[in-house]
Chains A and B, each alone.
Chain A
Amino acid sequence: MNFYLDNENLSFYLHHPDMEQVVAVREKNYAEAGNHPEAPADANEAVEQYDTVMRLLGDIAGDVIAPNAESVDHEGPQLVDGHIEYARGTRQNLDALVQAGLYGMTLERKYNGLNFPRVAAVMAAEIIARADVGFATIWGLQDCADTIQQFANDDLKNKYLPRIYQGATCSMDLTEPDAGSDLQSVRLKASWDEASNCWRLNGVKRFITNGDADLHLVLARSEEGTNDGRGLSYFVFDKADGGMKVRRIENKMGIKGSPTAELQFTNAPCQIVGERRLGLIKYVMSLMNGARLGVGAQSIGLCECACREAEAYAASREQFGHSIDKFVAVQDLLRQMRARTDGARSLMYETARYVDLAVSSKPASRIADILTPLVKLNASEFANRCAYDCIQVHGGSGFMKEYACERLYRDARILSIYEGTSQLQVVAAMKGIAGGAYLKQIEAYDAKVSAFDSLTDEMRRQQSLLRKATESYKRLYELVSSEGTSSERFDHSTRALTEVLSYIIMAYLLLLDSQRDNRFMDSCDFFVKEAVGEVHKHLAVYEN
């Protein structure tokens, strides 16, 4: 089974009209064409390359990773002599992906990377997550290499980046017992060792995903006497250099194949990434945005898997003389699952395109920044909802361990928590809400829809409803911010505002997608109704 070829939505976004611009930016206007045996000469060739590699990845996801998911969930990783041994299936997955040369997909060619854009990386993550979300966390952490590529000096890049291609695993060591969402409180100490000409780490990190990785990016306090984010720097630690021990691995509810560890650093030698004091305020924030998009991809992969599990079960399970997918109540569940998956996916690839364009465009960078929390918030919440509905479609059977939906339900739960909870995504969206950036983006989408030369009546109707919903949103915003954006009333409304904006944006994106393929109109209709319903629910309260 090929998890890329059997899902035509993936190719649809790989061939999005804006990809021409994305590829041109990524390929620096094809500067390497003719000078490197893999460099594409134009956008068509580049997209063909992405397609080729996604086919390969789709094979591995369908034939290796997905069949291993159940045993990996049962077996889990083990702690042996202070180090972690992956489940057998996890090791097989890693070996297949490394042998296939898929690690380091976004790295530059000089580091043995494929120089693929974020759009392709996110698609790879989605495909792998559909096979196994737990494994997708291990795979996704190679994004740490992007931070090294972006901010480290050439010595570090030359030393570490080629190892990613060879399969070196990564972890992002931020959380500590007293520093979770509040990373300014990180206490792990980094001190300069003059004699060895390196930094030394001392302290404890907790809840570290893939904690026994080969390469660690560690947030640590390099400035003695400080107690906020400005005293933190970022370090790269190589496990082979010693000084780190895994104290325990957590017994988790889901994503059991992905080891979550507590780490003890004792005089562990490491190198600083970039400049001192910029660890949290610049580098982690950059890494975090990428990680949030990554969790979006994991969530959508899980949604896709849940949709398929539910659709297949509903088509095969017979009650009252018919397969249950003939019953409207079940059809509604399946449609809603599919719509949420479509909406989150369209938003994610839109965001990924802006992340790619952000390299050479300030406005694109600002749009990427406002869309990223919406991806993380909505995709992760939808993943939970899809997993819930998947069990619902299975009925009593779904409550038994025999069906994959039980694992999906457990795996989904972390998605709206790690890399920033849903509540923190709402906080991250506030700047765009208060500053009007989301409304500006909605106006741009509306103009794009209007510019389409063959709008159907149904498309016009949805556009008109979306315009009304946007006007209602503006009224709601004015009502809840009437006492200022620091008021309690405003604070209590931020989630609702963020969700309404999200639904409007996803509906517009699906409307735009429908211009290339009409099959998205059902899902567009779902989000239009969600937007209209949600905004009027709150308006009804505040207007009276």
Chain B
Amino acid sequence: MTDVFAPGSIVLALLIGAAFGALLHRGRVTSCNVIENQFRLKDYTVLKVMLTAIIVGGVGVMFLADANLAKYAVKDANLLGVALGAAIFGVGMVFYGYCPGTGLAAIATGSVHALVGALGMIVGGVLFALSFDWVKANILTVGAYGKIRLPDITGISSPVWFAGLALVAIVFFVWAERQQSR
């Protein structure tokens, strides 16, 4: 019998995926209104969910990595590709009203326009694959620093980074709550 909790397990994919989808929905980020209002600076739910996930997730994964129970899987810092891609992504997120993950989750909560955008995402994926050779040769090579982490380039250790992040997050959360209860 194959182990359902082994890496690559289909059961595990469905379980973790389902938990992620349910958490996105419970965090209300499957709502287009919540996402658009984040970029309009009228609702800070998206940043609250993301910052909390990054800090809670990051501290845990740091301990797991230190104990050799997990490996970091850092994406390449191809600075030009990441910056250009992120610039396009931000505009796309405002037009779509979702990001790719929340868009898929939103389809399952009845959003028809999320489905329309998901068809657009197929087209976007195809366009990228068709332009991949050129992109790889001309863009992904610019400012390619590999799999670097903030502690590597700053000399500041991960625990200090997380302590700082947590402090910034708490100040921001207090401010955002005051803003919203006004």
A binds B: no
